[in-house]
Amino acid sequence: MRHALALARRGLGNVWPNPAVGCVLVRCGAVVGRGWTQPGGRPHAEAMALAQAGEAARGATAYVTLEPCAHHGKTPPCAEALVRAGVARVVTALTDPDPRVAGRGHAILRPAGIEVAEGICEAEAREVQRGFLSRIQQGRPTLTLKLAASFDGRIATGSGESQWITGAPARRHVQALRLCHDAVMVGGETARADRPGLNLRGLGPVRQPVRIVVSTRPLPDLPAEGTGHGPLWQVAGRPEDFMVELGARGLTRVLCEGGGVLAASLLRAGLVDQLIGYSAGLVLGGDGRAGIGALGLARLADAPRFRLVETRRIGPDVMHRWLRD
Ligand SMILES: NC(=O)c1ccc[n+]([C@@H]2O[C@H](COP(=O)([O-])OP(=O)(O)OC[C@H]3O[C@@H](n4cnc5c(N)ncnc54)[C@H](OP(=O)(O)O)[C@@H]3O)[C@@H](O)[C@H]2O)c1
């Protein structure tokens, strides 16, 4: 299942509105097929693994990170494909909360004589599926807030000089972060001041993330969709509302890259699920620009709290990742 989860991660940022799923087929102790959700969401992981295994799928065990689908969408149901292929046993990590599936996939397998084991590596699978689960269960994509800052949390000097606070390795890491998100979001002021590319560079043919600018005012000239840039969507209003709208449009994982006013309003609304910080070994002082705008907190108890899940040295900087409690 851990191998299947590693395959599933390949699809993150690439398969919305579908979940990123991995599948490994094992017969007599040997892997006979491997699959993961393909760009745009199909073929599904099971279809790819079954095609690779061919006749070797007969009598095999399928490890699938999410319950196989049961509905006739643009592709036939994967649960039926597993039955037809003669798989003997199916091991899944999570029940699919999508109301079109919700246990129906498992219910197709059992009466066909297939042994089913559920809930294997469930916690890891929940982490991989965080975006999809958020969209189905909360109606909005999961939101990561990224901040690259000095030791004291500043993103520019008082005069506005900000390039570069973190080193080239951390900036490459941000590219990897964009790769596993469906969309990259910035505030209107950042779009106007920096005209950021918000795209993936030097990574070959990849699905570019959707560019989201939160603004009520006209946008500056930003590169058109295609030619190395994803679609450009302008949203505005209350964060609670536009996040639901982004979920309805199919996004599962959104990365906010600032600025401080937008970041603060997302934090105030309790919409930030993950924080990723890059801290550099320089100090900009109280006259430097704060990475996050005012939150208006009177009591410590009201501060949004996060739990540390990862730290890593990246070149001369430190990356730290936190999840909402
Ligand atoms: N070094 C870094 O890592 C980094 C990263 C990002 C930004 N920056 C810098 O930060 C500066 C801009 O940041 P900022 O904090 O001033 O502005 P910002 O957060 O980028 O943008 C704020 C603007 O977003 C729009 N907005 C619309 N609806 C909103 C909502 N519900 N909640 C919040 N905002 C909403 C508003 O613009 P409208 O009036 O258009 O509606 C608002 O003025 C720039 O100088 C940029 O270079 C630095």
Distance (angstroms) between ligand 1 centre and the Cα of 219 equals 12
| Residues assigned a catalytic role | 46
Half-sphere exposure of 144 (CA within 13 A, CB side): 24
Does ligand 1 lie within 6 Å of residue 196's CB atom?
no
Q: Rounded mean pLDDT of 122-135?
A: 97
**pLDDT for 268 beyond 90:** yes
Does ligand 1 lie within 6 Å of residue 166's CB atom?
no
At 178-194, the pLDDT tens digits run 999 999 999 999 999 88
Query: With bands split at pLDDT 50, 70 and 90, how would you rate the model's confidence at 72?
Result: confident
Mutate to test the pocket of ligand 1, among 190, 243, 246 (most ligand atoms within 8 A of CB): 190
Rounded CA-CA distance 126/103 in Å is 16
Rounded CA-CA distance 270/258 in Å is 16
Distance (angstroms) between ligand 1 centre and the Cα of 115 equals 53
Contacts of 136 (CB under 8 A, 6+ apart): 97, 98
Beta-strand pair 183-187/154-156: unpaired
Does ligand 1 lie within 6 Å of residue 294's CB atom?
no
Which atom of ligand 1 is nearest the CA belonging to 156? 1
**pLDDT for 74 beyond 80:** no
Residue 79's nearest CA partner among 112, 51, 128, 125 is: 112
Does ligand 1 lie within 6 Å of residue 187's CB atom?
yes
- Residues pairing with 234 in the sheet: 213
The mean predicted confidence, pLDDT, of the chain is 95
Q: Is 259 annotated as a binding residue?
A: yes
Per-residue confidence (pLDDT) for residue 122, from 0 to 100: 97
Which atom of ligand 1 is nearest the CA belonging to 190? 20
Contacts of 160 (CB under 8 A, 6+ apart): 289
Rounded CA-CA distance 112/203 in Å is 44
Q: Rounded mean pLDDT of 79-91?
A: 97
**pLDDT for 131 beyond 90:** yes
Q: Rounded mean pLDDT of 4-26?
A: 97
pLDDT more than 70, % of the chain: 100
Domains observed in the chain:
1-129 (3.40.140.10), 139-324 (3.40.430.10)
Distance (angstroms) between ligand 1 centre and the Cα of 207 equals 26
Give, for 278, the enclosing helix (H) or strand (E). strand 274-279
Q: Is 78 annotated as a binding residue?
A: yes
Distance (angstroms) between ligand 1 centre and the Cα of 239 equals 13
Residue 197's nearest CA partner among 171, 218, 216 is: 171
Per-residue confidence (pLDDT) for residue 166, from 0 to 100: 97
Per-residue confidence (pLDDT) for residue 150, from 0 to 100: 97
**pLDDT for 36 beyond 90:** yes
Whether the CB-CB separation of 63 and 32 falls below 8 Å is answered with no
**pLDDT for 325 beyond 90:** no
Per-residue confidence (pLDDT) for residue 202, from 0 to 100: 84
Per-residue confidence (pLDDT) for residue 71, from 0 to 100: 84
**pTM of the complete model:** 0.95
Q: Is 44 annotated as a binding residue?
A: yes
Q: Is 16 annotated as a binding residue?
A: no
Say how many C-beta atoms besides its own lie within 10 A of residue 296's C-beta: 8
Q: Rounded mean pLDDT of 21-31?
A: 97
Distance (angstroms) between ligand 1 centre and the Cα of 216 equals 11
Per-residue confidence (pLDDT) for residue 63, from 0 to 100: 98
Rounded CA-CA distance 315/325 in Å is 29
Which atom of ligand 1 is nearest the CA belonging to 191? 20
At 88-114, the pLDDT tens digits run 999 999 999 988 888 999 999 999 999
Per-residue confidence (pLDDT) for residue 100, from 0 to 100: 85
Q: Is 282 annotated as a binding residue?
A: no
At 221-234, the pLDDT tens digits run 999 998 899 999 99
